Structure 1
Amino acid sequence: MVNGTNKKRVVIKIGSSSLTSLHGEISRRKLEKLVDEIVRIKDDGHEVLLVSSGAVAAGYRKLGCLTRPDSLPEKQAAASVGQGLLMESYSDLFLSHGYIGSQILITRSDFSDENRYNNARNTINVLLERGIIPIVNENDTITIDRLKFGDNDTLSAKVAGLVDADDLIILSDIDGLYDADPRKNKDAKLLDTVHEITPEIEAAAGDPGSDVGTGGMKSKIDAFKIAMASGISSFLGKASEKSVVYDAVYRKAKGTYFEPEPDQENLNQKKQWIAFNSGPEGKVTVDHQAREIIVEQRDNLLPVNVHHVSGRFSKGAVVRIHDLDGEEIGLGVVNYSSDQMKKMISLTDNELESYDMAAIESKDLVCHLEVKLPVGV
């Protein structure tokens, strides 16, 4: 049992290939292994949230399909069948150990709306504080492709940021990150610890390794980018390894640990939402002087610095900030609508003061940079 100072909040993500049999159905043996390890972590006094794939893989045979369906309606129908089977199995196993699991189905739009995002955070916090194990999955039954997270790797990283997790553990059918594709290069070496996602690491990310799941190493790298930017320690390991989840919490498991640099500036909750979930509504292009002001001096953006405005947005919207070369500087929050900004940048200095003297006197700025270098996910 840990004391209060060592208590951790742990998010665990497991993929379809790690939960299902070769025939595509739920593997009771694999579920029991995962649940047993989560129970050990809970018994030690830690909080655990599970992000679980497997709904489509668990349901498509019950739907009458011999292979995993390709069409969206069949996938969603399979998820409708499989999600219930998955939750029933989890609930029975956790209850046999004296713990309660809860189901949370979310969509990308739940995260892109700041009020719903904060509501999800509050709900999950209550569940965790009451000792319940939230089991999160994307609502595959109703979500259309353009509104999907894309994979549960990305979802798990965003959930870890949402709940201020200490650790993110991603389980897969591979035993960590290698410096090259181990399926193609027998000399590839397993990386024990990663402090920065470099271009070389991204180049080494391979294609999906399983016909059952949807996520490959690329999606996992994207997830670790999000987690590291949020100051969350992460781990990638093989789900079939004995005690891999339990050992990962105590830094004893075989795999790759992704550790943020101790002196890095972590994104707070507001900035995490802006960077990874907000869905920018437009673009503001600034001159070269403004780039230096907002990046190097960390100052805010004045009307005179704006060169061009694209898209339609309201006051308070999140926008992308680009320089004249087309390079993205970061994401910001605007103090004026797109129509107001377009009018302001067409005025002379004298006309601008007449247009909005109160704003100028109160130093109400056009836009303030919130995220300097957003992760490209």
Structure 2
Amino acid sequence: MSAVVVTGMGVVAPTGLGARRYWENTLAGRNAIDRITAFDPTTYSSRLAGEIRDFVPADHLPGRLLPQTDPMTRLSLVAADWAVEEAAVDPGTLPEFGMGVVTASSAGGFEFGHRELAKLWSRGPEHVSAYQSFAWFYAVNTGQIAIRHGLRGPNGVLVTEQAGGLDAVAQACRQVRGGTPVMIAGAVDGSPCPWGWVAQLSGGVSRCPDPDRAFLPFDVRASGHVPGDGGALLVLETERSARERGVRSCYGRIAGYAATFDPPPRSGRPSTLRRAIELALADAGLTPDRIDVVFADGAGVPARDRVEAEALLSVFGPYGVPVTVPKTMTGRLSAGGSALDLATALLALRHGEIPPTVNVTSPVPEYRLDLVVQPRRGAISAALVVARGRGGFNAAMVVTHSDPSTRRMPEHE
């Protein structure tokens, strides 16, 4: 069976809009975590986030879409536009049901919902937008992307928090292998509003006020994570389909995937994260020594970091593989986080460079991880991406090199 490859990528992240800018800033170690500007965070216990601050929706989308969409949906639409443009795919030339979209979401349009609830309680129900009926919904990004591009193929949404980006890509791969020529998949997520922020605060958010010290996964000073906004969407198709369309280069192959679910807290049973990693490697037909880099989940919560470190140690051995957590520059992006990590892994394959884990200067010695804290050059043939969602979701995905040639990125990249 022909392998599933990535032929287009749309990145929207606190560290850059478009794959090119994002990659340059990530390699440079530019930290985008800072004090929240979307609202006044003074009265909240945590005041830092990785925000996308240079995005002007009207520069990218028609005016009719702006009143009916949440900020995350607008970002999703633009990321999908960029991915489709780079893949040079015209949905109109495909069979009627030949292209679909699968996204992941943790909450939906939180900011849109917050704004309309404020209108409800302060001004009355007649002032609530009719678009509230769908703009808040966790499936709205999939729906709006499908409408914009006329996609009548398999469409869906997954809700597995941070693991969702990988799970959505895996579901899209199943559709491609099942005969759908082209799929869009991934996640853009976030909740930049007071209502969404309250929901975030119960999940291990750091109270540290210093942007350079608040999110330190695998560090002795780890005290929690910093939330953020953004993610990535990818275009997926078979290698045969890409060749037939004249695509000369791909980012890489989706070589292996697995998902597991942890037992209930306080059950006394261990995490199944190690099992997810082992199953993903087996699905890819690779042994641990074939993996050149791991993009770790990096929760930033000491207990969760320990579980992940133990899983990596058991699979790869002490200092057995370079491990990196580029999300220390963006924060954890809920469902968008693992999609962005996957995009970063594909960029690392293309450019032969591992991006850094910034600000981590005192790794926990007993974890015995080869933590990459400065950009590291070298041939990369296979990368493992690990993601863990609140509630027990684990996902692992292996991507491998597809084509040593490169292709010029579009101007917006």
> Given the two structures, how large is their TM-score scaled by the length of structure 2?
0.29
> Given the two structures, how large is their TM-score scaled by the length of structure 1?
0.31
Larger relative contact order, structure 1 or 2 (CA cutoff 8 Å, min sep 6): 2
